[in-house]
Structure 1
């Protein structure tokens, strides 16, 4: 990986579209930032979002580009509309949902970078069972929590 000594730029309409667990656009790769960060956009239909999960390796920053989202982090819940931002720490169970009636968009920054590669790998491997998905997720330090734990968030 090259060192981060030059600007990493993602012009409008730049990025790699990925169809895995919904639509994502990979905007910036860790390889272009010396591993410092990765950035993607998540396009989220109404009522959708990931299950409760934990990242062991990276913190996440979200900015609502359009729509309304609910974010759960540990025991906290907050709703954010366009322009709202939230940072979620690694090692803490969290999830989000599009709570609006229209498709929403999130800018997601992970630090350090690397997790942005999860979605292209899922698209490539096409895991079908929860065990197969968990196996790919484990390689990224990602754990989806059991159903009984999801009831609290």
Structure 2
């Protein structure tokens, strides 16, 4: 992988779309930042968000661009609206949900980078069963917390 020695930019309206678990736009790839981080935007319908899960490889930083979101991490719960930020550590079960009445948007930064490629990979592979999704997720160090569904952490 290249070192991160030059500016990496993503002009407004640019990025690579990925339609997997909702709409995502990949704005910065690990390959463009020497692996230091990746960044994507997630557009989340009301009542939607991932199940409780754990990232083994990366920390996540979220900035709410639009909407109203609930975030669960370990025993904590926090609600954020546009402009709010939260950082979630690797290895700790967490989830988020759009608790508003309109589509919301998040900017997500993962460090180190690499996880931003998960959504294009899901779109490419089109897994049909939970086991197939888990297999792809495992390649990215992501574990869905079995049996927890959408419960709070």
Give TM-score, length-normalised by structure 1. Answer: 0.98
In structure 2, how many angstroms separate the alpha carbons of the residues matched to 1:19 and 1:149? 22
In structure 1, how many angstroms separate the alpha carbons of the residues matched to 2:63 and 2:122? 24
Deviation at 1:146, TM superposition (A): 1.1
Could you say which residue in structure 1 is the equivalent of 2:68? 68
Q: Give the total of aligned pairs.
A: 153
| C-alpha spacing 1:16/1:148, structure 2 compared with 1 (3 Å) | closer
Could you say which residue in structure 1 is the equivalent of 2:44? 44
Q: Does 1:10 align with 2:7?
A: no
Could you say which residue in structure 2 is the equivalent of 1:114? 114
Structure 1 gap segments, 5+ residues each: none
Matches within 5 A, 1:74-85: 74-85=74-85
Q: Does 1:90 align with 2:90?
A: yes
| C-alpha spacing 1:152/1:69, structure 2 compared with 1 (3 Å) | closer
Deviation at 1:150, TM superposition (A): 5.1
Q: Which runs of 4+ in 1 moved over 2 A?
A: 148-153
Describe the superposition over 1:31-52 as per-residue Cα deviations: whole angstroms up to 9, x where unpaired: 0000000000000000000000
In structure 1, how many angstroms separate the alpha carbons of the residues matched to 2:125 and 2:133? 9
Describe the superposition over 1:85-128 as per-residue Cα deviations: whole angstroms up to 9, x where unpaired: 00000000000000000000000000000000000000000000
Give TM-score, length-normalised by structure 2. Answer: 0.98
In structure 2, how many angstroms separate the alpha carbons of the residues matched to 1:149 and 1:119? 20
In structure 1, how many angstroms separate the alpha carbons of the residues matched to 2:35 and 2:12? 22
CA RMSD of aligned residues (A): 1.0
In structure 2, how many angstroms separate the alpha carbons of the residues matched to 1:17 and 1:123? 10
Could you say which residue in structure 1 is the equivalent of 2:29? 29
Task: Tell me whether 140-149 or 112-121 shows the greater mean CA deviation.
Answer: 140-149
